[in-house]
Amino acid sequence: MNFVDVLEKLSNANGVTGREDQVRNLMKEYMAPYVDEVSEDKLGNLIAFKKGKKADAPTVMIAAHMDEVGLMVKNIKKKGFLQFTKIGGIDDRVLLAQKVVVHTDKGSLFGVVGSKPVHIQNEVERKKVIEADKLFIDVGAKDKEEAERMGVQVGDVVSFDTTFARLSDTVVLGKAFDDRVGCAVLIEVLKRLPEVDCNVYAVGTIQEEVGLRGATIAAFQIKPDLGIALDASVSGDTPGVSEGEAPAKMGAGPVVTVADAGLIAHPKVLRLLIDSAKQNSIGYQLETGVRGATDAARIALSRDGVPSGVVSTPARYIHSPAAILDVEDAKKSVELVVAAIVNASKHF
Ligand SMILES: [Zn+2]
């Protein structure tokens, strides 16, 4: 399967934080042919291992989070409507009128995030953002009992109902590109990685969107000498965004984070990434000051500290029902990470 097909499968799979099974199963299948071992830890991180040529070479951990932002059923109202809570950072304004899928023990149910129609809203209501706790999901149940019979329970997770689409030769649309693009990059890195000195651990992490939880325990187990998180980054090239707010652009190559809300990239890792990019003529973008953090923030603080950095693929509209990215950027992210792993034993 080629890179875009893998991204498509991963984007269409559902893995709202805490329920990453579908994504984990796919990743296990796609990574297995290229590594010596794949295992799952107690909380659900997927850990693939590729043995290096030199016993004393450094251990590299690359990580991409398998979870996506979504919703969770909080209460079933008497009339069958579902109240929900948000899982991860979602802007209330993007929720209204979205088609969603409620994942129950009995299977998937389609629904829509409902609200009062425009026809009967007054002037004030029309101008106001409706907060998430005033919204509800309508799965077509006539009352609470019917919703329960259909399988709905408090705690069921809800994902956006978005199907992957190819927009142009290189631009694609889909849900959960944060961080399925990182997952696809991770798989492709393993596929392309030649025999290297370093031991490589490639990890699909859980529960990143609610506090980088999976990476915390994965790094503890792996004890890496350096860590690189593979993620999606805000592409600031859309109307209404100034250059200073989000400098990364779609189509300009992978984003190398200098600093974000959780990490100041270790100078040796930054050097490794930038040198590797230059050596291989890979265009890259430096980024700093954008809010948010990645798994690298937790890898860096594991045990007695792990020099860490981030390679991201720019994507528009992340943490919303549909994002857009250029697959050429993602392929360049793959090239950069492969080159960095090849060079790692010279730098560490
Ligand atoms: Zn992410």
What does the pLDDT read at residue 242?
82
Instruction: Decide if 162 contacts 175 (C-beta within 8 A).
Output: yes
What does the pLDDT read at residue 223?
97
What does the pLDDT read at residue 113?
95
**Catalytic residue IDs:** 208
What does the pLDDT read at residue 3?
97
Ligand 1 centroid–CA 232 distance in Å is 6
pLDDT (average), residues 34-58: 95
Ligand 1 centroid–CA 149 distance in Å is 35
The rounded distance, in Å, linking the Cα atoms of 173 and 188 is: 19
Work out the mean pLDDT of the chain and round it to a whole number. Answer: 94
Percent of the chain with pLDDT over 70: 100
What does the pLDDT read at residue 347?
85
Ligand 1 centroid–CA 343 distance in Å is 26
DSSP-assigned states of every residue in 84-102: EEEES---GGGTTT-EEEE
Instruction: Decide if 194 contacts 75 (C-beta within 8 A).
Output: no
**Is domain 3-68+175-347 in CATH 3.10.580.10, yes or no?**
no
23-32, 114-123, 133-142, 328-337, range with the lowest pLDDT: 114-123
The rounded distance, in Å, linking the Cα atoms of 300 and 203 is: 15
Ligand 1 centroid–CA 217 distance in Å is 17
Residues in the chain: 348
Ligand 1 centroid–CA 310 distance in Å is 11
Task: Of 71, 59, 7, 31, give the one whose Cα is nearest residue 192.
Answer: 31
Local structure of residue 345 (DSSP, 8 states):
H
CATH of 70-160, one of 2.40.110.10, 2.40.30.40, 3.30.70.260, 3.40.50.1820: 2.40.30.40
Ligand 1 centroid–CA 342 distance in Å is 25
Residue 118: pLDDT over 80: no
- Model confidence at 246, pLDDT cuts 50, 70, 90, reads confident
pLDDT (average), residues 212-225: 95
| pLDDT tens per residue, range 131-189 | 888 899 999 999 999 999 999 999 999 999 999 999 999 999 999 999 999 999 999 99
Per-residue buried b or exposed e for 192-207, using 16+ beta carbons within 10 Å of the residue's own CB: ebeebbbbbbbbbbbb
Q: Which two tokens stand for residue 42?
A: 């107690």
Instruction: Answer yes or no: same fold for 3-68+175-347 and 70-160.
Output: no
| pLDDT tens per residue, range 251-301 | 999 999 999 999 999 999 999 999 999 999 999 999 997 788 999 999 999
What does the pLDDT read at residue 259?
93
Residue 122: pLDDT over 90: no
Which residues are paired to 40 by β-bridges? 46
The rounded distance, in Å, linking the Cα atoms of 89 and 67 is: 12
Using DSSP bridges, classify how beta strands 199-205 and 308-316 pair: parallel, antiparallel or unpaired: unpaired
Instruction: Decide if 82 contacts 309 (C-beta within 8 A).
Output: no
What does the pLDDT read at residue 120?
79
Ligand 1 centroid–CA 213 distance in Å is 12
Domains of the chain by residue range:
3-68+175-347, 70-160
What does the pLDDT read at residue 115?
81
What does the pLDDT read at residue 218?
96
Single-letter amino acid code for the residue at 297: A
Q: Which two tokens stand for residue 135?
A: 């919204």
| pLDDT tens per residue, range 83-102 | 999 999 988 888 989 999 99
**The residue to which tokens 């809800």 are assigned:** 158
* Strands, E assignment, the chain: 37-40, 46-50, 59-65, 70-76, 82-87, 99-104, 107-114, 136-138, 157-160, 165-166, 171-174, 199-205, 226-234, 255-260, 285-290, 308-316, 323-326
What does the pLDDT read at residue 84?
96
Count CB atoms within 10 A of the CB of residue 261.
11
Residue 310: pLDDT over 90: yes
Q: Is the pTM of this model over 0.75?
A: yes
